[in-house]
Amino acid sequence: MSAQTILPGTTATGQQTTLGVMGGGQLGRMFVQAAQAMGYFTAVLDPDPASPAGLVSHYHVQADYLDEQGLAQMMQRCAAITTEFENVPSGAMLTLGAHRPVAPAASALRIAQDRIKEKAHFASCGVPCAPYAALTDESQLASVPDDLFPGILKTARLGYDGKGQVRVAERAALQAAWAQLKGVPCVLEKQLPLAAECSAIVARGWDGAMVDFPVQRNVHRAGILATTEVFEGNLPPALATQALDAARAIALGLEYVGVLCVEFFVVQGSSTLLVNEIAPRPHNSGHYTIDACDQSQFDLQVRTLAGLPLVQPRQHSPAIMLNLLGDLWLQRAPAAPDWAAVLALPGVHLHLYGKLSARAGRKMGHLTITGATALQVQTTATQVAAVLGLPAP
């Protein structure tokens, strides 16, 4: 079911227009805040009674993602429904989509949830990815080409932030890696020397209109995004153009509606980007848009879902985003990080996600540093990292 324009505010029957989101994490929280700022009521389905999005939404449907009564409540309350993470069961979105506009569609989620289907989609769009082999059965291990070693064995489903991955230096280690990942379908990707990583975010409406944000340069540590920088000169213009062209082709091939992030590898000594994976939702690397752009990625998520006009966003400030993981709290327990010292620095914007407990590797918040020049934000980001004991960006 596609959306007509769903306007915010009070309807003719005196009800408030409500937009729904499947998933109650920080991405859902920021979607809820963007929707509420535009005048929509919001509903969140998430089983966690303390989910960050559920805590700030008008309605929190506390249920499993496939719970029939929970889905019925979402359909009853919501004019349209989106998702905040790619592993919401596609069957839930298929059920919802039979009765309400949903974006992204279940068909797009099914591809994003399976690396094997995802890589086949990249090939159909003419977008190159790293050499790989799809492994669905143990008997296929012996036929893996020699030139894929050293490689990284990744589960086809449910892997994120470095989870579900094992480095395989040589063929002799493949059997043990397969067993470590429980013998589920996997892909073995050739490990390539990387010069950089980057991501491109596009938004596509029901009418096919598409807009984009500047390409972000990213740094990961232990498989988790640590830093994103977005300013002139962060990437060669030709690579940025390649990234946006590829992201648009992938979105078009999916007949995608919503906000889509595409992650890329920049291989040493190469002038061609290789696509890594897609995220069918707003993305951690796009959080800077809240403070550095005239529209955020969450504003565009609301617009695409509600069928509102898409206007090309404008970045008005150079920006660096620093992820804040639970390790930061654990290292200082019982004291909290020195936010006062951080916020005394110019152009620093603190975003905490309302999570009630810190764990190692858990995303607790982020900091965005904006300024008049790239040098200014780089200098301030270095000072922030020193205050918090983070690696220098």
pTM (2 d.p.)? 0.95
Report the amino acid identity of residue 251.
A
Task: Give the length of the chain.
Answer: 393
Asked whether 81 and 100 are in contact (CB, 8 A), the reply is yes
| For the chain, the helix, strand and coil percentages under 3-state DSSP, each to the nearest 5 | 35, 25, 40
Asked whether 355 and 384 are in contact (CB, 8 A), the reply is no
Mean pLDDT for 97-113 is 95
- Residue 39: CB atoms within 10 A of its CB come to 12
Question: How far is Cα of residue 290 from the mean position of the Cα atoms in its chain?
Answer: 14
Residue 130 — very low, low, confident or very high, per pLDDT cuts 50/70/90? Answer: very high
| pLDDT given at position 393 | 87
Indicate if the pLDDT at residue 280 is higher than 90.
yes
Distance of alpha carbon 98 from alpha carbon 143, whole angstroms: 43
pLDDT digit string, tens, across residues 38-78: 999 999 999 999 999 999 999 999 999 999 999 999 999 99
Indicate if the pLDDT at residue 163 is higher than 80.
no
The mean pLDDT of the chain is 94
pLDDT digit string, tens, across residues 7-40: 998 777 778 999 999 999 999 999 999 999 999 9
Indicate if the pLDDT at residue 277 is higher than 80.
yes
H or E stretch covering 330? helix 327-330
Report the amino acid identity of residue 380.
T
Indicate if the pLDDT at residue 158 is higher than 90.
no
- Residue 301: CB atoms within 10 A of its CB come to 26
Domains defined for the chain, CATH in brackets = 18-102 (3.40.50.20), 131-190 (3.30.1490.20), 194-388 (3.30.470.20)
Indicate if the pLDDT at residue 162 is higher than 70.
no
Q: Is 276 helix (H, G, I), strand (E, B) or coil?
A: strand
What Å distances lie between residue 174 and 114, 151, 342, 392, CA to CA? 21, 9, 45, 35
pLDDT digit string, tens, across residues 86-103: 889 999 999 999 999 999
Mean pLDDT for 334-350 is 96
Distance of alpha carbon 154 from alpha carbon 141, whole angstroms: 14
Mean pLDDT for 349-364 is 95
User: Which two structure tokens, joined as six digits, stand for 242?
Assistant: 């390649």
